[in-house]
Structure 1
Amino acid sequence: MAATLHNDIAESRVVDNRGKITGRLVWSYAIRIIFAIIFAFPLLFMVVSAFKPDQQIFQDLESIRAFLPVGDISLDNFYAVFERVPAGTFLKNSIIVSAATVIIGLIVNSMAAFAISRMKVKGGKIVLSLIIATLIVPFETLALPLLWWINKLPHLGLYSDGFAITQGLMDTYQVQILPFLANAFSIYLFHQYFDSIPKELDEAASIDGAGWFKIYRSIILPLSGPAIATVAILTLLPAWNQYLWPLMAVQSEELRPVMVGVQYFFQLSTSWGQIMAYASIITVPVIALFVTFQRAFVNSIAASGVKG
């Protein structure tokens, strides 16, 4: 009788614990959904407004219609965007600059992190600390000195009579790429992730005759997929969103990125429908890319946080 009563009490406790866990999960998901809706409202308003004329945008602001694709819906704003500005050229430039910055940046930052983390470099921790310390320096304080140095660097260009070396990288793709290849946070993230990989793998590869570069290319990088995806996203976003630096260093319209193109819509007559259409064109692809690599992004941040 006592044993039966004890089992009943134990089962009731298990049921209570399961109920509490289920309740916590429900509340957790409910809070996430609420925050997702709150943060989605501005994006939803932007996309929906891109299909409406200016007059209807302001009329719908007083009701839920502002977030619904109702009324006078058309693609006129998108057509007008490509007529008003060379949006195709801006998109092409941003894709080139962002892709080059991400690809070369992944190589540069991962190799730097590998050297500090795996190669037992003397003073490696001090070097890493100095690299991280650069994060506290805002880019605005470096922009003018960087502009001066960029104007002194040699530039190999292709001209009608062949290749020639000139002074200064102003008004080129290179000036939009080179200053942003090495990134302190990317090096730190790679370093933390590389530290979580057992160093016994390096020793085993060394016994088989592998050098440091082969260890880096054949062992470390294949195991660092989440870190690579995370650094790619964190490098892509600022590269795509560059505004101040291209405004200072690029004068030719055929080399300007998408963010500089925003100022074109505030000249002469301002059309908010066109602004929303242009903003949708340059925002939605980045959001789609982030959603695609979201799982790898979260996994890498979690792994780095545990190690740190």
Structure 2
Amino acid sequence: MNMDQGKTSRHSIKKVKRLKKWLTYLVMSLLAIFFMFPIVFMLMSSIKNNEYQVVTDMSSLRAFLPVGELGFQNYKDVFTSQHFGHVMFNSVFIMITTVVIGLFVNSMIAYALARLRFKGKTFLLSSIISLIIIPFESVAIPLLVMVNHLPWFGGETSWLDSYHVQIIPFIADAFSIFLFYQFFIDIPKDLEEAALIDGASHFGIYWKIVLPLSKPIFATVAILQALNSWNRFMWPLMVTRGTDVRPLTVGIQSYFGQDPRLWGDLMAFASLITIPVLIVFLLFQKWFVRSVASTGIKG
């Protein structure tokens, strides 16, 4: 009898676990569908060629369905516009430059904090962590005043309306440094100590030992910095005047407040802004998930 009761109890526990598992999947699927609504609406609207169809479909589920006159004329209109190619180049250039230099700078700072001993290390680390909670909006105006008076090569007396004003202030990032630091302190010190005994420098250890072991965190920081750079709007709007150095997020403004017939073009423009971000995430997804799992970051 006891054996039968034990089997029944184990069977009941398995059923409860299975039920919880399926309920979790169901809730996650419903949340995914809910958050996909804006993206689906944007993509469906971008292929509707009828000039007023995007507006008229907003009052029904037709807004999320590929119905009506469909095609890629909206995308052709965007690609043939005068400034799309240029602002696309600006966004890609600013994002790649910020991410590549930022990965090197932030990882070097984090490695120094994680492995080197120097006075003021604890204070410096605490200051970097405290910077994470300060919103950029609170320092945007002081930063604007500062860069407006900084010199540049060639005798320029202002950084405004340039690429470097959109890159340099965002290379060193407090949250990226913190992520690198959390990852580096978990790397065993045995290999580094053996390399130091063999005469290796700290930079040589960082370059030849730490970097190959840190691919997951580099992918994570690359994704986060790429997203921040690609989606940045307020700062480029403040520091640029024309379309010469403006990114896509500011360039899309040219469609606002215009004829409702351009809503299809606007949705196509928005889709072209979103697609590169999805591509970046898909390319680094494996490393991103591995880094989140290894560092215990809760999202």
TM-score, normalised to structure 2's length?
A: 0.92
* CA offsets 1:135-159 (integer angstroms, 9 cap, x no match): 2322223222222322333322xxx
The CA deviation at 1:228 is 0.6
Structure 2 alignment gaps of length 5 or more: none
Corresponding residue number in structure 1 for 2:244: 254
Paired amino acid for 1:23: L
Matches for 1:125-204 after TM superposition, within 5 Å: 125-156=122-153, 164-204=154-194
Report the more deviating stretch, 170-179 or 287-296: 287-296
Q: Is the 1:115–1:121 Cα contact (8 Å) retained in structure 2?
A: no
Q: CA separation in 2, counterparts of 1:69 and 1:12?
A: 51
Q: CA separation in 1, counterparts of 2:233 and 2:135?
A: 15
**Runs (4+) off by over 4 Å:** none
Paired amino acid for 1:298: V
Report the more deviating stretch, 61-70 or 106-115: 61-70
Q: CA separation in 2, counterparts of 1:165 and 1:23?
A: 69
- Percent identity between matched residues is 44
Paired amino acid for 2:163: Y
Alignment counterpart, residue 118 of structure 2, candidates 101, 116, 121:
121
Q: CA separation in 2, counterparts of 1:71 and 1:101?
A: 42
- Number of aligned positions between the proteins: 296
Q: Is the 2:243–2:251 Cα contact (8 Å) retained in structure 1?
A: no
Alignment counterpart, residue 210 of structure 1, candidates 190, 195, 200:
200
Corresponding residue number in structure 2 for 1:17: 13
Corresponding residue number in structure 1 for 2:91: 94
Q: Is the 1:78–1:274 Cα contact (8 Å) retained in structure 2?
A: yes
Q: CA separation in 1, counterparts of 2:208 and 2:81?
A: 49
Q: CA separation in 2, counterparts of 1:13 and 1:222?
A: 49
Alignment counterpart, residue 265 of structure 2, candidates 261, 264, 274:
274
Query: Does 2:227 align with 1:230?
Result: no
* CA offsets 1:205-263 (integer angstroms, 9 cap, x no match): 21222110011111111111111111111111111112111112122312110011121
Q: 1:28–1:155: structure 2 CA closer, same or farther, 3 Å change rule?
A: same
Paired amino acid for 1:294: Q
Q: Is the 2:192–2:205 Cα contact (8 Å) retained in structure 1?
A: yes
Q: 1:257–1:118: structure 2 CA closer, same or farther, 3 Å change rule?
A: same
Report the more deviating stretch, 7-16 or 193-202: 7-16
- Local SS of the residue matching 1:259: helix
Paired amino acid for 2:123: I
* CA offsets 1:41-61 (integer angstroms, 9 cap, x no match): 110010010011342223323
* CA offsets 1:169-192 (integer angstroms, 9 cap, x no match): 222111110000010000001100
Query: Does 2:289 align with 1:298?
Result: yes
Report the more deviating stretch, 190-199 or 118-127: 118-127
- Local SS of the residue matching 2:152: strand
Corresponding residue number in structure 2 for 1:160: none
Q: CA separation in 2, counterparts of 1:213 and 1:97?
A: 27
Paired amino acid for 1:37: I
Alignment counterpart, residue 82 of structure 1, candidates 74, 79, 83:
79
Q: CA separation in 2, counterparts of 1:73 and 1:41?
A: 19
Paired amino acid for 2:36: A
Alignment counterpart, residue 34 of structure 2, candidates 33, 38, 44:
38
Paired amino acid for 2:54: I
Corresponding residue number in structure 1 for 2:276: 285
Report the more deviating stretch, 229-238 or 114-123: 114-123
Q: Is the 1:98–1:236 Cα contact (8 Å) retained in structure 2?
A: yes
Query: Does 2:14 align with 1:26?
Result: no
Corresponding residue number in structure 2 for 1:67: 64
Paired amino acid for 2:250: V
Report the more deviating stretch, 272-281 or 128-137: 128-137
Corresponding residue number in structure 1 for 2:52: 55
Paired amino acid for 1:293: F
TM-score, normalised to structure 1's length?
A: 0.89
- Local SS of the residue matching 2:212: helix
Report the more deviating stretch, 274-283 or 202-211: 202-211
Taking only aligned residues, the RMSD between alpha carbons, in angstroms, comes to 1.9
The CA deviation at 1:267 is 4.6
The CA deviation at 1:285 is 1.6
Paired amino acid for 2:290: N
